[in-house]
A = this chain, B = another copy of it.
């Protein structure tokens, strides 16, 4: 469990500029994680498939995969007959090879999920509130994390790999948009969530921006073709974004890359405004309020929602304009392949938003820009907490 980083941190060593030399054990560790990454991506692969894909010798792959099988991380499938030669034995990820916790701290709710090595949720806990407070979150975790752990057998518990926390950074900003008591959110400013949660459980704890985490979930658990580079939008109470470059999550220097909220985009009336003011669910909630409908349904679950058509239409149109404009910036600045849109919303609304964004994008001046594909995410509303859980999973078992 102890990583090199941990050791360096413990000893107060200023970590060298991440230019570590490589040695045999590192090589083996890399090759093992490479095998696991390929098996995750492509489902079930035989040893010889892996040998061909990696360029490693058959013998090396054989040794590595037998050891991974012995470790309970790979499961042997039914031999495939019908081809000339000895039948191949497909190996796939063993679901119960490892477990991970994901915690999402949101502006209206906190969610804890326990997933297996395949990324399937095995248990969930959720609690809603008017605004998040450190105490409430810590209490929620201290109650529910042990409870979820209980649902595993003693042996499975040994295989818990860590806890990843997905939360908005600078939660105290934009307090005015949440009806919280004045100053209540300021408590977060001096609250070190990683340390506090580490005290509550014996596993590594990682913290990441919520939208970045959601993007990571799409990268690790997403289905369909996985492009090398993509921009990802997650629309929650506020909109956030994530970025994948070279097949790797790009969190940026302080973990705030693709924080698209403050991005200036043209609003419905043509004037520039911030993306978060037109493409967030809070904007939709304001629209509902105005229309005399209680917006609380939005935070309870991601649809089906009862929303007057004109309110929804107006919101989608505005959000799509903003998303299209942000997409254009990204396409120019970092030659973006694909843009994915997901969020805490029913899939039909998401699909309409995707369609509207595509239409709005084609309405822009696109000369000299290679067109990205704009499509819906494949993970859905739970992307943030799943992305949290994906952090320890990637850290330990995957290469980028």
Contacts and interface: CB of A to CB of B under 8 A. Distances in A.
Interface of A: 4, 16-17, 19-24, 26-27, 30-31, 34, 37-38, 52-56, 60, 170, 173, 228-229, 243, 245-246, 250, 252-254, 256-264, 274, 326, 328-330, 332-335, 337, 365, 367-370, 399
B23 A53 contact: no
Contact of A335 (B34, B173, B252, B274): B252
B262 A367 contact: yes
Given A263-B332, A263-B333, 15 more contacts: A16-B52, A21-B30, A21-B56, A22-B34, A23-B60, A243-B334, A254-B370, A257-B334, A259-B335, A260-B333, A262-B369, A264-B365, A330-B333, A333-B333, A334-B334
A264 B56 contact: no
Nearest to A31: B21
Contact of A229 (B30, B54, B253, B367): B253
Nearest to A335: B252
- Which of A30, A54, A333 lies at the interface centre, i.e. has the most chain B CB atoms within 10 A of its CB? A333
A19 to B, nearest CB: 6
A334 B332 contact: no
Contacts of A264: 328, 365
Nearest to A256: B335
Classify the interface of chain A: helix, strand, loop or mixed: loop
A262 to B, nearest CB: 4
Contacts of A26: 27
A228 B253 contact: yes
A368 B261 contact: yes
Which 3 A-B pairs have CB atoms at the shortest separation, nearest pair first? A252-B335, A21-B56, A21-B54
Number of copies: 2
A192 B388 CA distance: 46
B27 A333 contact: no
Given A253-B335, A367-B262, A34 B54 contact: no
Contacts of A333: 243, 257-258, 260, 263, 326, 329-330, 333-334
Nearest to A273: B365
Nearest to A257: B335
9 contacts: A4-B55, A16-B53, A23-B56, A23-B60, A26-B27, A250-B334, A261-B368, A333-B334, A334-B334
Contacts of A4: 55
Given A4-B55, A53-B16, A332 B259 contact: yes
Contacts of A243: 333-334
A274 B333 CA distance: 13
A235 to B, nearest CB: 17
Contact of A368 (B37, B262, B369): B262
Nearest to A275: B332
Contacts of A337: 253
Contacts of A332: 259-260, 262-263
A27 B22 contact: yes
B54 A16 contact: yes
A244 to B, nearest CB: 12
Contacts of A250: 245-246, 334
A225 to B, nearest CB: 12
A183 to B, nearest CB: 20
A20 B55 contact: yes
A80 B24 CA distance: 33
B19 A34 contact: yes
Contacts of A399: 19
